[in-house]
Amino acid sequence: MPRDESRGHRPRGGGPGGDDGAAAVEFLALTLVLLLPILYLVVAMTRVQAGAYAAEGAAYAAARAAVVTGLDALDAGLEPAAATQAARESAALAAEVVAGDFGIGAARVELDCDAQCLSAGSTVRARVEIDVALPGVPAFVSAVIPARVTLDATAASPVDGYVP
């Protein structure tokens, strides 16, 4: 006796109207469409957050290194202009070391002083900019579309009441 398909019975197998295995295919397709972009977003945001920490740490290290190196140079008898130049070089080096610790490339450092640089009671401010490349972007795409985020941070370090 043939089955009555009008009562909810479907033929078995791969015949017309069969959907064996469709759930697995739909699950796989949805996983690829939804999970991979979310995973990329998490990885990209982690990289940007590491860049933000690197910029903050590099700014602090640059400001403090500039003050310490500048005061040491003044104490060694260098002219204020030469001591300021030594402070700038030390600040750039300190920022590079901190950025390298975070796996970030180059860091650009700008130093600014209020009043006379390295005078007692003044403040040295360091502004650091870091470019963070987004992960997984091919070189030919990043050559056309800038696939990076520029982060900056500012830190200040007071010049102690130091008398050489």
What pLDDT score does 62 carry? 97
What pLDDT score does 13 carry? 54
Both tokens of 109, joined, read 């450092």
Burial class for 79, CB neighbours closer than 10 Å (0-12, 13-18, 19+): exposed
Q: Does the pLDDT at position 164 exceed 70?
A: no
Phi, psi of 92 (to 5 degrees): -65, -40
What pLDDT score does 92 carry? 96
Long-range contacts of 135-139 (CB under 8 A, 24+ apart): 135/40, 135/43, 135/44, 135/47, 136/40, 136/43
Angle between helices 36-75 and 80-101 (to 10 degrees): 150
Cα 132 from Cα 47, distance rounded (Å): 7
Per the prediction, the chain carries an average pLDDT of 86
Q: How confident is the model at residue 118 (pLDDT cuts 50, 70, 90)?
A: confident
**pLDDT (tens digit per residue) in 8-63:** 555 555 555 566 677 888 888 888 888 888 999 999 999 999 999 999 999 999 99
CB 155 within 8 A of CB 126: yes
Could you give the maximum distance between any two Cα atoms of the chain, in Å?
A: 110
CA distances from 76 to 79, 145, 147 (A): 9, 49, 46
Q: Where are the alpha helices (DSSP H) in the chain?
A: 22-30, 36-75, 80-101, 139-144
What pLDDT score does 24 carry? 83
By percentage, how much of the chain surpasses pLDDT 90?
53
Q: How confident is the model at residue 136 (pLDDT cuts 50, 70, 90)?
A: confident
Q: 3-class SS at 125? A: strand
Both tokens of 58, joined, read 């590099």
Q: 3-class SS at 111? A: strand
Q: How confident is the model at residue 4 (pLDDT cuts 50, 70, 90)?
A: low
Higher pLDDT, 10 or 161: 161
